[in-house]
Chain A
């Protein structure tokens, strides 16, 4: 569909800067990146591995650490599919239909990005906390949300809500309705059209969104910290566990768990880069990240 991009302009075009300027700018960028991105990452891994691999294994095998890892995986396993479904539904509605309040919906989808995670967490405390709006009712019916797993899931869902939707909306808008309409004229029913035409058309963008959503769901600290209550072995996710260990001067254990989170970030980054490199066309004409 897309024509190959025109070849880049010759290096000695009018836009090119003197050599000294180019070297200086590049050096500045590399230095900055090294100082603020690469160095911390290296520190995390060296600190984690300083006491030796056995210590890392012990730290991760610790009962509370295992509980934190399990909870983080559980929260991601609930919130990522939820947001994938929501993202596809929202993008479908925005891209394929005209309805009143559409621009409001698009703005609302971005809200979790613009609001501080602490505020996101507080909102749920105000809604479901003991003194909150639904607090008395929830207590009367013996439902625990705040300082329990449901609260953590809610906060994570809220914070990671935009990732999939934002990835899909521009793509689906660009693709339009013609493919779906073609499938309909060929006799396919709604579900078949979705499974055989819509989903394949957005699959790589969906995967990309899910990847980012997952990274954030596992790494979220602020909102989860507010609603979790920091109950060791029960409501501690990995990021919260790292903080607790660090505050208790258990640096080796803190860095061991942190290195696991950093590893997740690296894997996400690699997968994201592979997607961008391999399926640039199908993700979107113009990348925004």
Chain B
């Protein structure tokens, strides 16, 4: 898909996803998704609902069987391996704690479920559960029941339970989805620290781009079952690989333009944008408010009249109807700006992206 997809060679990857396709009836939930995850990496699967991110996570866990492609864990083909034999730790969105078992029994479940000859002695189970409770900072809560815990505590019990089986990879489905905003922030930081401390290869699913880009080493962006891009936050922000990624990350405005002979034009005016990578025909210019500044119309990329001016926290946000075509671009202005609604302004874009085809 792109150069950052393969961070490591196949031999040393903790997880290799190789051309994975998953169909639900006639619908493709995943289409030939391919990427690698390095040992100890923290990777986010990011996408809108229905993008296939949770399906991909479930394929990694063995809870769904792919209709095509392979999944390698620690270099060995795990595609045909049963869930029970995969040794992956899975934390469910609503934690799926066993409500009739104490915290202790929840965490011990994976140890007690082992075949008899690999099952630890009762004393070892007690010691191991105690260690895990300390690890997730829930020491002393072993006799509680899930119903007696807060959301954040349940999350950490689910994590300890998944870690009890000494998983080769840790998979988290929307780990912050069921929590309120304040707990989310705390837990986000805690998960990052926890990951750095324990070093498990971790994949988590989220629909929140801030969460993904702040927390993960690399972010894989999925859309309609396809992997659009995988890369570090800087890559995703600065070099979006597709129109979808460009609009999905950050506040992005799109302006349909026409490319002719390597120049982008809007309403007949040359936008002074390099379009050498676009064939002649329709294309779309993407810009973000922080990259735009008012300038003299003679050297502007976009020209338009201010249709709305409103106060935001630190400054003023202007909506500008660009080139009479009715496409609204937003730009941040200082509080003491002399511009007024109706004024014609030129906008210079320090960064912009041009993709061939119609708007996303």
- Nearest B residue to A181 via CB reads B63
For chain A, residues 177 to 193, give those with C-beta under 8 angstroms from any C-beta of chain B. Answer: 178-179, 181-189, 192
A108 within 8 A of B: no
> How many residue pairs at the A-B interface have CB separations less than 8 Å?
64
Q: Which residues of A contact B93 (CB under 8 A)?
A: 178
Assess whether A183 is in contact with B113, with CB atoms less than 8 Å apart.
Answer: yes
Nearest chain B CB to A192 CB, angstrom units: 6
A19 within 8 A of B: no
A186 CA to B86 CA, complexed, in Å: 9
Assess whether B109 is in contact with A186, with CB atoms less than 8 Å apart.
Answer: yes
Q: Contacting B113 at CB < 8 Å: which of A186, A200, A201?
A: A186
A217 CA to B190 CA, complexed, in Å: 56
Centre residue among B96, B146, B162 by max chain A CB count within 10 A = B96
Centre residue among A1, A179, A182, A200 by max chain B CB count within 10 A = A182
Assess whether A189 is in contact with B84, with CB atoms less than 8 Å apart.
Answer: yes
A184 CA to B165 CA, complexed, in Å: 12
With contact pairs A1-B147, A181-B63, A192-B113 given, residues A186 and B99 touching in the complex (Cβ less than 8 Å): no
- Nearest A residue to B92 via CB reads A178
A200 CA to B109 CA, complexed, in Å: 14
Assess whether A182 is in contact with B100, with CB atoms less than 8 Å apart.
Answer: no
Assess whether B96 is in contact with A179, with CB atoms less than 8 Å apart.
Answer: yes
B351 within 8 A of A: no
- Nearest B residue to A197 via CB reads B98
For chain B, residues 139 to 193, give those with C-beta under 8 angstroms from any C-beta of chain A. Answer: 146-147, 161-162, 164-165
Assess whether B90 is in contact with A188, with CB atoms less than 8 Å apart.
Answer: no
Q: Which residues of A contact B356 (CB under 8 A)?
A: none
Task: Give me the interface of B with A, judged by CB distance under 8 Å.
Answer: 61-63, 83-90, 92-94, 96-100, 109-110, 113-114, 146-147, 161-162, 164-165
A249 CA to B62 CA, complexed, in Å: 70
- Nearest A residue to B86 via CB reads A185
Q: What string of 1s and 0s marks CB contacts (under 8 Å) between A23-43 and chain B?
A: 000000000000000000000
Task: Give me the interface of A with B, judged by CB distance under 8 Å.
Answer: 1, 178-179, 181-189, 192, 196-197, 200-201
Assess whether B94 is in contact with A183, with CB atoms less than 8 Å apart.
Answer: no
Q: Which residues of B contact A188 (CB under 8 A)?
A: 84, 109-110, 113
With contact pairs A1-B147, A181-B63, A192-B113 given, residues A186 and B165 touching in the complex (Cβ less than 8 Å): yes
Please name 13 further chain A to chain B contacts, defined as beta carbons within 8 Å, in addition to the given A181-B92, A182-B90, A185-B62, sorted by A numbering: A179-B96, A182-B161, A186-B161, A186-B164, A187-B84, A187-B87, A187-B113, A188-B109, A189-B84, A189-B113, A192-B113, A196-B109, A200-B100
A181 CA to B88 CA, complexed, in Å: 12
A142 CA to B88 CA, complexed, in Å: 59
Q: Which residues of B contact A192 (CB under 8 A)?
A: 113
Q: Which residues of B contact A178 (CB under 8 A)?
A: 92-94, 96
A189 CA to B110 CA, complexed, in Å: 11
Nearest chain A CB to B168 CB, angstrom units: 12
Nearest chain A CB to B16 CB, angstrom units: 20
Assess whether A185 is in contact with B162, with CB atoms less than 8 Å apart.
Answer: yes
Q: List 22 A-B contacts (CB under 8 A).
A: A1-B99, A1-B147, A178-B92, A181-B63, A183-B113, A185-B61, A185-B62, A185-B84, A185-B86, A185-B90, A185-B162, A186-B109, A186-B161, A186-B164, A187-B85, A188-B110, A189-B113, A196-B98, A197-B98, A200-B100, A201-B99, A201-B100
Q: Which residues of A contact B147 (CB under 8 A)?
A: 1
- Nearest A residue to B91 via CB reads A182
Q: Which residues of B contact A185 (CB under 8 A)?
A: 61-63, 83-84, 86, 88-90, 162
Nearest chain B CB to A19 CB, angstrom units: 41
A191 CA to B83 CA, complexed, in Å: 15
Q: Which residues of A contact B109 (CB under 8 A)?
A: 183, 186, 188, 196
A273 CA to B52 CA, complexed, in Å: 46
Nearest chain B CB to A59 CB, angstrom units: 45
